[in-house]
């Protein structure tokens, strides 16, 4: 099952789920979007108004496997479901989980990314945290703060927690996964203190909170694919389910200036089979001290090809357009703007924001 969160055409992206008209929906086989409220009405539930106001994280807490939603879909008339659904072209999406309670990032978790940095293979994952202010949606601008000159992208598979996880074993971790989505772990490399990104005299912050947790630095989406579709079931492309293993993870940058201007350039081309620590291992390790709750997010690391380790380096500038893609889930496309949300006239970002889709 594929799930989204629909946002109002003119809503406050920073507002809490449910409080400003954000509505969870299921993606039908036709691609049309059926809100949970519309599904409830078709199924004859008496709680349609209440369910319309619930965020996906709240629904997960009550029903980790979306059993009621699945039952309603199975027993409802397909034609009635289609009639109650909306054309995705008429709505705009928020991140599937717009306001995660916790976001746990994982560093140095792809072997090829470790090798490109010349690092030794770690014995435990490097963990860091972000806050909900960093989350943004497919199509929304990534705002580059004025204080950084080394903005970079990181395509990642993100895990959505569905059940409370505290001190779980790797064998039990799979039942705590509600689903997966795509993520772009945007990073200010100079703030991070990455030596290759520092100008003479610069030191960086020496920690990662600001470098990775600034506003708009974590695009998520566009959909959440439930765990059963990628574990023991059938993926959206018809291939066998894979529990998040063996999925291609890619990224592209369309530059606003330079010799490659206006042409997508592939930055990353990795695969989750290269993960050093599996999703089950990550959940077990994190939950040994930090309780994970429904709707929490784990972003699992990025493959090689990021801008800071390239020769010459590639950093994101206002006017650029970036895209990350996770196989069987989908892609996120975001324009890069300045801190005020502006992009140079005629740039790929400006054209994208004006409705000229790539």
DSSP 209-276: HHHHHSTT-EEEEEEEEEGGGGTTSB-TTSSBP-TT-S-EEEEEEE-SSSTTTTSEEEEEEEEGGGBS
Q: Does 321 fall in a domain?
A: yes
**Considering Cα of 118, then 119, then 125, then 127, what sign does the dihedral take?**
negative
- Both 262 and 281 in one domain: the answer is yes
- Output the pLDDT for position 10: 60
**For residue 131, what are the β-bridge partners?**
none
Tokens of residue 265, six digits: 């350039």
Instruction: Tally the domains of the chain.
Output: 2
- Output the pLDDT for position 46: 72
Q: What's the pLDDT tens digit per position in 189-223?
A: 999 999 999 999 999 998 899 999 999 999 999 99
- Both 305 and 225 in one domain: the answer is yes
- Both 291 and 225 in one domain: the answer is yes
Upper half-sphere CA count for residue 311 (Cβ side, 13 Å): 2
> Which CATH number is 206's domain given?
3.90.850.10
Which of 93, 117, 133 is the last residue in one of the domains? 93
List, for the chain, all residue ranges whose pLDDT scores fall below the cut of 50.
Answer: 11-19, 233-236
- Output the pLDDT for position 206: 84
Burial 191-203 (b: 16+ CB within 10 A, else e): bbbbeebbeeeee
> Which pTM value belongs to this model?
0.93
Q: What's the pLDDT tens digit per position in 251-293?
A: 999 999 999 899 999 999 999 999 999 999 999 999 999 999 9
31 and 88 Cβ atoms separated by less than 8 Å: yes
What radius of gyration, in Å, describes the C-alpha atoms of the chain? 20
- Both 318 and 338 in one domain: the answer is yes
- Output the pLDDT for position 230: 85
- Output the pLDDT for position 237: 53
Q: What is the largest CA-CA distance in the chain?
A: 67
């Amino acid at each position: 099952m594929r799930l989204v969160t629909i946002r109002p055409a003119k809503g406050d992206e920073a507002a809490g789920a449910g409080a400003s008209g954000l509505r969870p929906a299921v993606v039908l086989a036709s691609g049309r979007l059926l809100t949970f409220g519309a599904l409830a009405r078709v199924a004859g539930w008496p709680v349609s108004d209440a369910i319309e106001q619930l965020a996906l994280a709240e629904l997960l807490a009550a029903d980790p496997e979306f059993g009621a939603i699945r039952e309603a879909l199975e027993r409802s008339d397909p034609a009635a479901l289609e009639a109650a659904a909306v054309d995705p072209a008429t709505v705009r999406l928020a991140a599937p989980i717009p306001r995660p309670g916790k976001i746990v990032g994982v560093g140095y978790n792809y072997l090829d990314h470790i090798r490109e940095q010349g690092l030794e293979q770690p014995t435990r994952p490097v963990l860091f945290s972000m806050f909900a202010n960093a989350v943004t949606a497919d199509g929304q601008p990534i705002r580059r703060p004025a204080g950084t000159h080394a903005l970079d992208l990181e395509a990642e598979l993100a895990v959505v927690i569905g059940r409370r996880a505290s001190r779980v074993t790797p064998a039990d971790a799979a039942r705590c996964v509600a689903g997966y989505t795509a993520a772009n772990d945007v990073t200010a490399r100079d703030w991070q203190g990455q030596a290759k990104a520092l100008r003479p005299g610069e030191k960086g912050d020496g920690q990662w909170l600001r470098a990775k947790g600034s506003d708009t630095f974590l695009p998520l989406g566009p959909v959440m694919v439930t765990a059963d579709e990628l574990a023991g079931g059938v993926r959206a492309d018809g291939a066998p389910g894979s529990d998040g293993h063996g999925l291609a993870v890619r990224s592209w940058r369309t530059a606003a200036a330079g010799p490659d201007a206006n042409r997508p350039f592939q930055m990353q081309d990795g695969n989750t089979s290269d993960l050093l620590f599996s999703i089950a291992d990550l959940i077990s390790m994190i939950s040994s001290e930090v309780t994970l709750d429904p709707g929490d997010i784990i972003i699992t690391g990025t493959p090689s090809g990021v801008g800071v380790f390239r020769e010459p380096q590639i950093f994101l500038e206002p006017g650029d357009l970036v895209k990350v893609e996770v196989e069987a889930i989908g892609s996120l496309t975001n324009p890069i703007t300045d801190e005020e949300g502006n992009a140079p006239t005629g740039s790929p970002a400006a054209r994208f924001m004006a409705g000229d889709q790539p």
